[in-house]
Chain A
Amino acid sequence: MLNKCFKRAKSTASRTVDNEAVVVIPEGGLVRVLNDAGSRVWQLLDGEHTVKEIVEAISQEFDAPAEQTQTDIMSFIKELEAKQMVEGL
């Protein structure tokens, strides 16, 4: 998974408000607010960054331990994928 890229699903719509991403999944009308770290991950899920690159970026930007960051991000992306908010490339 670390070398895989994910892209935000076309069916989702999102808007960043005060550094927090508000994401809408049209099917089901679900709306989620992501915190600042989650919003930054969401931004990097552009199909051009591998999971490993996202982990490195977040770890550096938020001064967070790499191992824990990796665990959290992989879990987060799996959750997004399960809700069809991102697609693996």
Chain B
Amino acid sequence: MNKTKTLQIVAGDIPLAITLDDHQILKQLQSLYAPFAGGGDAACKIKIKVTKGTSNVSVQDQVDIKFSNHVYQVINSEYSARIDLKKKIGTIDISSDWKLEACSNAIKNVYTFLIINTGGLVLHASGVARQEQAYIFCGSSGAGKTTVAEISQENVVLGEELIGIKADAQSWRAFSIPYQQDCRFPRRSNDFFRIAGLFQLVQDTSNHIIPIPKPRALADFFILPVGFEKFTSCYNLLEKWHRLVNEVGCFELHFLPNSSFWHCITKSGGRSPRGHPVTLQPI
């Protein structure tokens, strides 16, 4: 008989306790989440069950997200999750067709939910930590988020798709959210890094950065995660984003697909006088 074991991880100062009785997956998760190993009073205790066959969603790509009475539910083709915020417990049913990938996606989703629930933000972005500062790269699909992360592997890669952000009294800090796709990067960290700048990616024939005016920065970077419009006040989220773009430099980064763009960023210090475009010589 399999014995249930518990995996404890921490991301963004949010401890999560995960129990499951599939030892093969548990071992894989332990390896995947090694940088996030930790303990503490769990913000949520999740029980993962692997069920045979496909999930109870008949349409392959359909995602159903609900939130009411402190309970958050997600149903898609890989898994179904139910998190009770008040009781701090949750269950995730994984289809045996997906296993590890489904576990990783479900845990990533749970963390997105917990981060927003505790006052943080989650960005659809890649992030790189360099000299104790975080550089966050945003853009639509194909803009180059993964490219930037892959080019920058000698640094700590916070993530290639999702980045967590929290504010303290002095600054905004970025952190990694546990995710399977990020484990291929050799340098990972569970630390917080002060954000040096937010960069909207534009692939170009030269490297240069251009400051983004605050109203446009708020419009460009603001994200309301799908399904969260019923969970969190849009106004409160907008207020946090406003504070973020007000306090952190926001730029368009026009870049070549090689590491030369880092010279462009660090030469400018990630900041420039407000209202003055910073255009450097092509590298």
Contacts and interface: CB of A to CB of B under 8 A. Distances in A.
B215 A33 contact: yes
Interface residues of A, number: 16
A15 B218 CA distance: 9
Interface in B204-255: 213-216, 218-219, 222-224, 226, 229, 233-235, 237-239, 242, 246
Interface stretch (A23-31, A44-52, A56-64, A81-89): A23-31
Nearest to B245: A17
A26 B224 contact: yes
A11 to B, nearest CB: 8
B204 to A, nearest CB: 23
B238 A15 contact: yes
Given A15-B238, A15-B242, 19 more contacts: A13-B237, A14-B238, A17-B214, A17-B215, A17-B218, A17-B246, A18-B214, A18-B215, A22-B222, A22-B238, A24-B238, A26-B229, A27-B229, A29-B229, A31-B222, A32-B219, A33-B216, A33-B218, A33-B219
30 contacts: A11-B234, A12-B234, A13-B233, A13-B234, A13-B237, A13-B238, A15-B239, A15-B242, A17-B214, A17-B246, A18-B213, A18-B214, A18-B215, A22-B215, A22-B218, A22-B219, A22-B222, A22-B238, A24-B234, A24-B238, A26-B224, A26-B229, A26-B234, A27-B229, A29-B224, A29-B229, A31-B219, A33-B215, A33-B216, A33-B219
